[in-house]
A and B are shown apart, each in its own frame.
Chain A
Amino acid sequence: AAGVIQSPRHLIKEKRETATLKCYPIPRHDTVYWYQQGPGQDPQFLISFYEKMQSDKGSIPDRFSAQQFSDYHSELNMSSLELGDSALYFCASSLGARDKTEAFFGQGTRLTVV
């Protein structure tokens, strides 16, 4: 079965650079979530989208922005990168507004800021 696809899987950037992470949800899923997991930490919710509109917002820095496109894929844009942004970034997707449906996680993008 198709899963959530994240690209790239690994990314190395220098401080103050910009990074773009992409997420392709499971086909027919219209809700996307972004999480950040630092080394040895629990995942922290950043932001979610439903039908291309922002649904919920967590601890997303102002330097980060995200959007969901007409084909439901989503991109997380990160600017002025800092060493502390080094983390595993997860995308998850779920189906519609049906709250009972579980969110499926992608394998993550490992971002290293040097």
Chain B
Amino acid sequence: AQTVTQSQPEMSVQEAETVTLSCTYDTSESDYYLFWYKQPPSRQMILVIRQEAYKQQNATENRFSVNFQKAAKSFSLKISDSQLGDAAMYFCAYRRYMYSGGGADGLTFGKGTHLIIQP
């Protein structure tokens, strides 16, 4: 079974600075997807960024980018120019790729990192 590990229960960063959240995972699959989700105090789960394992290029979404190291099974999230609205729980998640058939597997989440933005 796959596992996702986030070793930083809490991180703090000054507004406008850059912060990196760590995530490692374990899987025997060669094709899969990795995600970062944000959960603000409202508890809404919001997709931040997605990475397909077969793509060597790191995904980027505005101020958010990832460092995907497939051999090391590492998937870190970098947030540049941190803003107060970035304060939230951040969950790293994994989903295996389905080669055929319908539907999709559920996500396996890490324990989360609580990100605090200092004004």
Contact = CB atoms under 8 A, between A and B. Distances in A.
Contacts of A46: 106
A98 to B, nearest CB: 9
Given A42-B110, A42-B111, A43-B91, A55 B103 contact: yes
Nearest to B6: A42
Contacts of A62: none
B41 to A, nearest CB: 13
B42 to A, nearest CB: 8
Given A88-B43, A102-B47, A105-B45, A42 B103 contact: no
B101 A97 contact: yes
Given A90-B45, A102-B47, A50 B104 contact: yes
Interface string B42-56: 111111001010000
Interface residues of A, number: 33
A71 interface: no
Contacts, number: 75
B44 A51 contact: no
B98 interface: yes
Interface string B11-28: 000000000000000000
Contacts of B45: 43, 90, 92, 105
19 contacts: A33-B106, A37-B43, A41-B111, A42-B91, A42-B109, A43-B109, A55-B105, A56-B103, A56-B104, A56-B106, A58-B106, A94-B104, A97-B102, A97-B104, A99-B98, A99-B104, A105-B45, A108-B43, A108-B44
Interface of A: 31, 33, 35, 37, 41-51, 53, 55-56, 58, 88, 90, 92, 94, 96-97, 99-100, 102-105, 107-108
Given A42-B109, A45-B106, A102-B35, 20 more contacts: A44-B109, A45-B107, A48-B104, A48-B106, A49-B103, A53-B103, A55-B105, A56-B104, A56-B106, A90-B45, A92-B45, A97-B103, A97-B104, A99-B33, A99-B98, A103-B107, A105-B46, A107-B43, A107-B44, A108-B44
